[in-house]
Amino acid sequence: MKRALITGAAGFIGSHLCERFIQEGYFVFGLDNFLTGNPANIALLLENPNFHFMEYNVTNYLFVSQELDLILHFACPASPVDYLKYPIQTMKVDSLGTLHALGLAKLKRARFILASTSEVYGDPGIHPQPESYWGNVNPIGVRSVYDEAKRFSEALTMAYFREHHLDTRIARIFNTYGPRMRAKDGRVVPNFIMQALKGEPLTIYGDGSQTRSFCFIHDLVEGIFRLSTHEELNGQIFNLGNPDEHEIRDFAHIILNLTHSSSSISFHPLPPDDPKRRKPDITLAKTILGWEPKISLPDGLLQTIGWFQSKNMGGSTS
């Protein structure tokens, strides 16, 4: 039986990945310190004999005695609100945490997959963004704690690939949404859905002309699974996201329609360094992984809205 270690196992993406790898016949070691992860996300997994959970902060030295085939480093606050709340933990998990995860991968000769982000492109100067674009990041701005830490993680991953010939792969993940996002994580999808369901105004930052392209979690997990299990991808980098681009003000109306909400819209200041446009060029993932998103925005949003209704409208909104 193959073994995968997944950091950030109780997170939104991490918990879906743990489930997928177990379904595919892997034994999964899941690590999380619950800084932004949620114990409820792994409650069912804890009963699975092919899942072993360790409550652990990967910024500390990382060791497991068993052999490992794969290490997926997915621990990190990922919502702007979270990484502004935990700036130093964010920088630690994507520097010390990445170093420790890479060190363990080297020891075990395991394949290493880094969860990177479209934020490495910053406020992009070219559109859509291909993997070859170097980005436009403010190195000392408030978002730099995330952007630069992920850029450092990428550089460190490539150093292990070049110096130690480790089999590494980097996923640059664009905006992803779906069940298990935290209702109060501050990102636009949970904010708008919860506001619409409660009849509160939808909070648009700036004039709402900025764009994002939203990928449903199951599509993303399929992409990460392919990237992790495909042979001969050593040292490669892939954008994973849905190129279906929307202005945030249009996105607000999509949410209002799908929730049948009569909420109003309110306008608020744009956070500093908020990227103006974002859309992945996924030519590489299409060509090499044979992957592209399949779930339309309305279908994915309806599933997500249903999940928020069932989990969060009864009073508990973590």
Q: Which residues are marked as active site?
A: 146
Helices and strands (H, E) in the chain, number of each type: 10, 13
Smaller CB separation from ligand UDP, 169 or 212: 212
Q: How far apart are CA 144 and CA 151, in angstroms?
A: 10
Of 48, 95, 203, 303, the residue at the interface with ligand UDP (CB under 6 A) is 203
Smaller CB separation from ligand UDP, 108 or 212: 212
Smaller CB separation from ligand UDP, 5 or 197: 197
Q: How far apart are CA 311 and CA 216, in angstroms?
A: 18
Least CB distance to ligand UDP at residue 311 (A): 19
Of 69, 205, 244, 303, the residue at the interface with ligand UDP (CB under 6 A) is 205
For the chain, give the number of residues. 318
Q: Which amino acid is at 167?
A: D
Contacting ligand UDP within 223-282 (CB under 6 A): 248, 270-271, 274
The piece of 1-9, 29-37, 184-192, 304-312 that touches ligand UDP (CB under 6 A) is 184-192
Q: Does 204 bind ligand UDP (CB under 6 A)?
A: yes
Least CB distance to ligand UDP at residue 118 (A): 8
Smaller CB separation from ligand UDP, 79 or 239: 79
Query: Residue 30's beta-bridge partner residues?
Result: 6, 53
Smaller CB separation from ligand UDP, 81 or 126: 81
Q: How far apart are CA 111 and CA 301, in angstroms?
A: 33
Question: In this structure, how many other beta carbons lie within 10 angstroms of the beta carbon of residue 153?
Answer: 26
Least CB distance to ligand UDP at residue 271 (A): 6
Cβ contacts of residue 271 below 8 Å, gap of 6+?
Answer: 80, 142, 205
Structure-token pair, residue 21: 């790898």
Question: In this structure, how many other beta carbons lie within 10 angstroms of the beta carbon of residue 234?
Answer: 12
Q: How far apart are CA 194 and CA 202, in angstroms?
A: 9
Closest residue to ligand UDP, based on beta-carbon distance: 187
Smaller CB separation from ligand UDP, 182 or 187: 187
Q: Does 301 bind ligand UDP (CB under 6 A)?
A: no
Q: Does 210 bind ligand UDP (CB under 6 A)?
A: yes
**For the packed helices 297-312 and 188-198, what is the interaxial angle rounded to 10 degrees?**
60
The piece of 129-137, 152-160, 183-191, 296-304 that touches ligand UDP (CB under 6 A) is 183-191
Bond before 39 cis per omega within 30 degrees: no
* DSSP class per residue in 139-166: TTSTTHHHHHHHHHHHHHHHHHHHHH--
Q: Does 200 bind ligand UDP (CB under 6 A)?
A: no
Q: Does 212 bind ligand UDP (CB under 6 A)?
A: yes
Q: How far apart are CA 298 and CA 253, in angstroms?
A: 12
Q: Does 10 bind ligand UDP (CB under 6 A)?
A: no
Of 52, 187, 277, 279, the residue at the interface with ligand UDP (CB under 6 A) is 187
Structure-token pair, residue 317: 């909104």
Of 98, 175, 229, 304, the residue at the interface with ligand UDP (CB under 6 A) is 175
Contacting ligand UDP within 21-80 (CB under 6 A): 79-80
* DSSP class per residue in 168-211: EEEEEE--EE-TT--TTS--HHHHHHHHHHHTPPEEEETTS--E
Please work out the total of residues on this chain that contact ligand UDP, with binding judged by CB under 6 A. 15
Q: Does 91 bind ligand UDP (CB under 6 A)?
A: no
Q: How far apart are CA 257 and CA 259, in angstroms?
A: 6
Contacting ligand UDP within 93-152 (CB under 6 A): none
Q: List residues near ligand UDP by CB under 6 A.
A: 79-80, 175, 187-188, 191, 203-205, 210, 212, 248, 270-271, 274
